[in-house]
Amino acid sequence: MTTQQAKQEYDAQGYVLIRGVLKSKELKQVQMAFDQAAEKGALGDLLNQDDIFVDMVDHPVLFPVIQAIVGDDVQLRYARGGIIKPNTNSGSGWHCDLSGILGIDMPDSLIMTKLFTYLADVPEDGACLGLVPGSHRYEMGHPLPDIRAHEDMPHHAKMVVQAGDAVFFNGYTWHARFHNRSAQPRKVLEYSYVHSWMKTMYEFDDFSPHVQEVILKSHNRRQLFGVPEPGQSDWKRRLEGCPPYHRMEVGI
């Protein structure tokens, strides 16, 4: 799947599934670092645990899609890992992350996108991510149906994935996590991306001196991590090599 095809599918459905992003050697490296972070109880502080999680922020396969979806002013909002235990009632109800935002026409705006990168297979009876295709275009306040079980949501799509697959989805898309009825845990990296003029969940001082040094070496990473650029407003920030910001006037 090309970057353009991925963006077209994302725009049409509110999500896109890309198979086999992480290949065997890289996948094993990320899995090992993930398990080590989990053993330390540090999945919420993922970026300070191993450089490989910083590298995932602008992964060469994933990042072109992120840039195409969010734009040249893209910024990381947060990065964390998650484990859903096997054979548990661990589902989350159908919801929309951005339903409470006021003053923005959400069906025609892209405020936030999420990226799930899977480090373990998620079978049909596992803790699958469920999505309602096209729900990112529903009008504001569109009511969720009155349903009793996750499976009762009309027209939903269930992300049955393998380790190394990745799913992008719009924060305004209706989604849910199904109960994990399988015998294996769900292990996932969850990264969220917004625009550079929005608030990230990090302060630069949250990162270790080593991670700060890694971030400061790259223009793109300084933008992705919200490091201030002297003399430049957050509104005008753009990735390296991209056209500069130009003010657009609308109306008469």
Domain hosting 157: range is: 3-236
Judge whether 202 lies within some domain. yes
Domain membership of residue 181 (yes or no) is yes
Mind listing the pLDDT tens digit for each residue in 118-132? 999 999 999 999 999
Q: Which pairing describes strands 92-95 and 74-84: parallel, antiparallel, or unpaired? A: unpaired
How confident is residue 251, by pLDDT bands cut at 50, 70 and 90? low
Q: 246 in a domain, yes or no?
A: no
Mean pLDDT value of segment 227-241: 92
Tens of pLDDT, residues 36-73: 999 999 999 999 999 999 999 999 999 999 999 999 99
Give the pTM: 0.94
What is the band of 107 on the pLDDT scale with cuts at 50, 70, 90? Answer: confident
Q: Specify the number of domains making up the chain.
A: 1
Exposure string over 175-191, b if 16+ CB within 10 A, otherwise e: bbbbbbbbebbbbbbeb
Q: What is the pLDDT of residues 135-182, one digit of tens each?
A: 999 998 888 888 888 988 899 999 999 999 999 999 999 999 999 999
Q: What is the mean pLDDT of the chain?
A: 94
147: domain CATH number?
Answer: 2.60.120.620
Mean pLDDT is lowest, of 19-23, 74-78, 92-96, 157-161, for 92-96
Q: Tell me, yes or no, whether 110 lies in a domain.
A: yes
pLDDT of residue 165: 98
Q: 208 in helix, strand or coil? A: coil
Choose the weakest-confidence range: 18-22, 103-107, 161-165, 246-250. Answer: 246-250
**Taking 90 as the threshold, does the pLDDT of residue 106 lie above it?**
no
Q: Give the CA count within 13 Å in the CB-facing half-sphere of 225.
A: 24
Helix (H) or strand (E) holding 116: strand 113-118
Does residue 130 form part of some domain? Answer: yes
Domain assignment present for 24? yes
pLDDT at 130: 97
Segment 92-117 shows an average pLDDT of 89
Whether residue 220 lies inside any domain: the answer is yes
- For residue 34, give both structure tokens: 């993930």
**CA angle, 26 as apex, 22 and 29 as ends, to 5°?**
125
CA 243 to chain centre: 25
Instruction: For residue 63, tell me if it sits in a domain.
Output: yes
